[in-house]
């Protein structure tokens, strides 16, 4: 009797669980295929180009992967005859190889891998599938059928530095930073150079959180900066935690990844943002036209892959004008990342690292592991 009852109970529970699991499975387990709601009817002979995106995190991170997925949606809307698929939360390393190979075998035409750690897996699989085109984000290895792409986020970061330099009263600007890797370090440097271009007395205080996204921890880091007198909070983190801290204290902040003003409308002055869709549309169009060749795409504001979110309404007009003028220079090709990182550049100890009249090379910029003068903070030894 007891056993029968228990079996019944178990069955009911199992069915309930199975229902719950299957109803949420498509999001986390299997890739989801979507097609644009309004497709231009392709001519019967035209085959749809099948594109798959490999994401390192969930789309729900609201940051890095979210922005890539916005790019995927833009691609579907703007390029007819494209069918996209994505898979979330693929761990970097051996698992990635398996997932990428799986999609290659399924007959996808383009495989887009959106994290640095997918570099070697992408190259490895690409060797076996010469007819498939692979696009890898932020890496440095290419092959005849593998191209890389990244953006010069340092350009909008520099512009946001101009805003921060003008808006600070205490001359102390806080910067909540994720990990001490070149990508983050050069972002801090570009920002600081922007700040010091308009306010040579200001300094940028850096705090490392050792996390990409943990909103509570990032908020705490920002509060630490506010407690020592910083009155602007910039960030290289994927959550709006630091901006919410700035808002709660009634000071300003500068977001990242996407326009964070919706989370802290009274605080966020602007945010350097990614617009991956611009690149995806361009690359896929070229692939469809048959004109794509392997490349190391490194686009800037001029190309549209990175941008500065609109300045808040409470930014004074003279600051707005300053930023707009500089932006015009960037858009006109008169100013860019190589002008940001041009001599004379001193490091934190005041020692000249880049002589006057010299510019850093792309390689030097991409591998930067030292702070410019004006940054207060340490890069932990590796």
Residue 58 in the binding site for another protein (CB under 8 A):
yes
User: φ and ψ at 215, to 5 degrees?
Assistant: -55, -40
CB of 288 to another protein, least distance (A): 30
Q: With CB under 8 A as the contact rule, which of the stretches 144-152, 199-207, 289-297, 311-319 interacts with another protein?
A: 199-207
Residue selected from 8, 11, 15, 17 as contacting another protein according to rule CB under 8 A: 17
- What residues have CB less than 8 Å from 2, skipping those under 6 apart? none
Residue 304 in the binding site for another protein (CB under 8 A):
no
Residue 225 in the binding site for another protein (CB under 8 A):
yes
Q: Residue 369 class from Cβ within 10 Å (0-12 exposed, 13-18 middle, 19+ buried)?
A: exposed
Size of the site for another protein (CB under 8 A): 54
Residue 31 in the binding site for another protein (CB under 8 A):
no
CB of 176 to another protein, least distance (A): 9
Residue 192 in the binding site for another protein (CB under 8 A):
no
Q: Is the distance from CB of 159 to CB of 194 less than 8 angstroms?
A: yes
Q: With CB under 8 A as the contact rule, which of the stretches 47-55, 78-86, 98-106, 203-211 interacts with another protein?
A: 203-211
User: Max alpha carbon distance in the chain (Å)?
Assistant: 90
* Interactions with another protein, residue window 63-122 (CB under 8 A): 63, 66
Distance (Å, whole) CA 29 – CA 33: 13
Residue selected from 216, 310, 324, 358 as contacting another protein according to rule CB under 8 A: 216
Q: In this structure, are strands 306-308 and 272-274 parallel, antiparallel, or unpaired?
A: antiparallel
Three-state SS for 13? Answer: helix
Distance (Å, whole) CA 29 – CA 70: 20
Question: What residue has token string 């940028």?
Answer: 204
Q: What end-to-end distance do the CA atoms of the chain give, in Å?
A: 64
Retrieve residue 183's tokens.
């990508």
Residue selected from 19, 39, 60, 95 as contacting another protein according to rule CB under 8 A: 60
Site string for another protein, 257-276 (x = CB under 8 A): -x---xx-------------
Retrieve residue 317's tokens.
């007009």
Positions touching another protein (CB under 8 A) are 1-2, 6, 9-10, 13, 17, 20-21, 24, 27-28, 57-63, 66, 174, 205-211, 213-217, 219-221, 223-225, 227-228, 230, 239-241, 244, 248, 258, 262-263, 376-378, 380
């Amino acid at each position: 009797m007891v056993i029968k009852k228990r079996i019944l109970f178990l069955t009911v529970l199992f069915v309930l669980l199975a229902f719950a699991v299957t109803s949420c499975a498509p999001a986390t387990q299997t890739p989801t295929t979507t097609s644009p709601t309004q497709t231009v009817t392709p001519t019967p002979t035209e085959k749809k180009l099948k594109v798959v995106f490999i994401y390192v995190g969930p789309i729900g991170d609201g940051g890095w992967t979210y922005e890539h997925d916005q790019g995927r949606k833009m691609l579907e809307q703007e390029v007819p005859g494209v069918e996209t698929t994505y898979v979330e939360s693929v761990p970097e390393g051996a698992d990635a190889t398996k997932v990428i190979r799986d999609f290659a075998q399924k007959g996808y035409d383009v495989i887009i891998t959106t994290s640095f750690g997918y570099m070697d897996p992408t190259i490895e699989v690409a060797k076996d599938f010469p007819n498939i085109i692979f696009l890898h984000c932020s890496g440095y290895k290419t092959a005849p059928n593998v191209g890389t792409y990244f953006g010069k986020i340092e350009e909008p970061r520099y512009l946001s530095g101009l805003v921060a330099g003008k808006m600070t009263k205490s001359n102390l600007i806080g910067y909540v930073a994720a990990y001490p890797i070149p990508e983050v370090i050069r972002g801090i440097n570009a920002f600081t150079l922007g700040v010091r271009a308009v306010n040579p007395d200001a300094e940028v205080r850096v705090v490392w959180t050792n996390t990409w996204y943990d909103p509570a921890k990032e908020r705490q880091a920002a509060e630490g900066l506010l407690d020592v007198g910083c009155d602007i909070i910039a960030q290289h983190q994927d959550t709006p935690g630091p901006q919410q801290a700035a808002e709660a204290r009634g000071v300003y902040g500068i977001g990242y990844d996407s326009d964070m003003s919706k989370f802290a409308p009274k605080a966020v002055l602007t945010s350097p943002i990614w617009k991956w869709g611009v690149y995806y549309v361009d690359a896929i169009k070229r692939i469809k036209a048959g004109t794509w060749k392997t490349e190391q795409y490194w686009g800037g504001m001029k190309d549209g892959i990175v941008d500065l979110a609109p300045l808040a309404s409470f930014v004074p007009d003279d600051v707005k004008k300053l930023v707009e003028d500089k932006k015009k220079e960037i858009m006109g090709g008169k100013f860019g990342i190589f002008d940001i990182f041009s001599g004379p550049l001193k490091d934190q100890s005041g020692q000249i690292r880049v002589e006057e009249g010299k510019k850093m090379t792309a390689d030097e910029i991409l591998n930067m592991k030292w702070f410019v003068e004006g940054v207060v903070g340490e890069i932990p030894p590796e």
